[in-house]
Amino acid sequence: MRTRSLLATPSLGAAAIRSLDGLVTGPSFRPVKSTPRTTAGFFNHEGRQLFVKRKIARSWMTSINESIRGSSAARALRGAQILDRGGFAHPKPIGAFELRELGLVRESCLVSEALTDARILSLFALTDGRNFKRRKWISKHLAREIRRLHEAGIYTRDLQETNLMLAAQGCEITVFFVDLEDFRRVRKVSERRRLLNLIHLDRSIGRFVSRSQRLRFFYNYIGENLERAEVRRLLASLSRIRAGLGDVQSASKGTVAINPSSSSPRRDFTRAGAARH
């Protein structure tokens, strides 16, 4: 197979990229995900901790599809560029390559900086136990950043808490968007795409956030200036979209496993909000 370099930096040149097969199986590799198709985790390179995500096309049909729409690594580089242009934080890619056979993508790999000072949303939120003021502070900052993302014409196909990493410095929170391959940029993010992002996030945070706190996040996102009728309309739209999705789409993104009871109406912030109004 032929190696095609998509990104090589001084800290991780082409020669190092070609030896990644040994790095992801070596003694310093610490996996966080391992499936027949995807391997992801941390490894040490020249005294620096890096993160690698490698995807393998296990069939020729998958190879054809990856070659047409772009490999996982190529899409992640595009996602990083989209976030850079919008001024949003994310792990910086420092190396990427594809392995091709007969011109088709058989494997791709992305290497990025490790966010050693950031934590995924759930771990960040639970750092101080169940501190109400801290949760309120986090909700306000996160909702503001996601709204800013949408207003910049950017959305992701997989907005769940494991794809959000947060770091605090003083009174400020930095939100890092990860899983870069799913980010898209459009002229204007439609209401449906916005609500889909909120539904995916709502489903994934239900295991550690109460209904009232999730509803508070929704109000932080939409702002305080909407008329009550408009709020009701948005809540009704959320309910319709959620009912139409069922659990099929959620299962394909892994959110049902994170929050098995997320489809329960008693845990749905859309129903809680409708009752509130």
Per-residue model confidence as pLDDT tens digits over 69-87: 999 999 999 999 999 999 9
The whole-angstrom separation of Cα 192 and Cα 162 is 22
225 and 239 in a single domain? The answer is yes
123 and 250 in a single domain? The answer is yes
139 and 272 in a single domain? The answer is yes
Q: Select from 90, 113, 136 the last residue of a domain.
A: 113
DSSP state, residue 79:
H
- Winning range, highest mean pLDDT, from 36-50, 197-211, 258-272: 36-50
Residue 98 is part of a domain; what is its CATH number? 3.30.200
The whole-angstrom separation of Cα 90 and Cα 97 is 19
Whole-prediction pTM? 0.81
21 and 68 in a single domain? The answer is yes
The whole-angstrom separation of Cα 44 and Cα 40 is 13
Query: Please, which residues have CB within 8 angstroms of residue 19's CB and are 6 or more apart in sequence?
Result: none
91 and 200 in a single domain? The answer is no
Domain that holds residue 226: 119-276
pLDDT in tens, 161-176: 999 999 988 888 999 9
255 and 132 in a single domain? The answer is yes
141 and 264 in a single domain? The answer is yes
> What's the structural domain count of the chain?
2
Backbone angles phi, psi at 4, to 5 degrees: -115, 115
The whole-angstrom separation of Cα 161 and Cα 71 is 24
136 and 269 in a single domain? The answer is yes
Least confident of 38-52, 139-153, 187-201: 38-52
Helical segments of the chain, H only: 14-18, 20-23, 60-69, 72-86, 121-125, 132-151, 191-205, 211-222, 228-245, 248-253, 255-258, 269-276
* pLDDT at 112 exceeding the cut of 70: yes
- The tokens of 215 are what? 């509803």
How many other C-beta atoms are found inside a 10 Å radius of the C-beta of residue 173?
Answer: 17
Task: Average the pLDDT over 93-97 and give the result.
Answer: 91
43 and 165 in a single domain? The answer is no
Count of all residues that appear for the chain in the document: 277
133 and 269 in a single domain? The answer is yes
CB of 190 closer than 8 Å to CB of 184 = no
pLDDT band, very low/low/confident/very high, at 235 (cuts 50, 70, 90): confident
226 and 129 in a single domain? The answer is yes
- Winning range, highest mean pLDDT, from 89-93, 130-134, 217-221, 264-268: 89-93
Instruction: Write the DSSP string, 173-234.
Output: EEEEE--GGGEEE-SS--HHHHHHHHHHHHHHHTTTS-HHHHHHHHHHHH-S-S-HHHHHHH
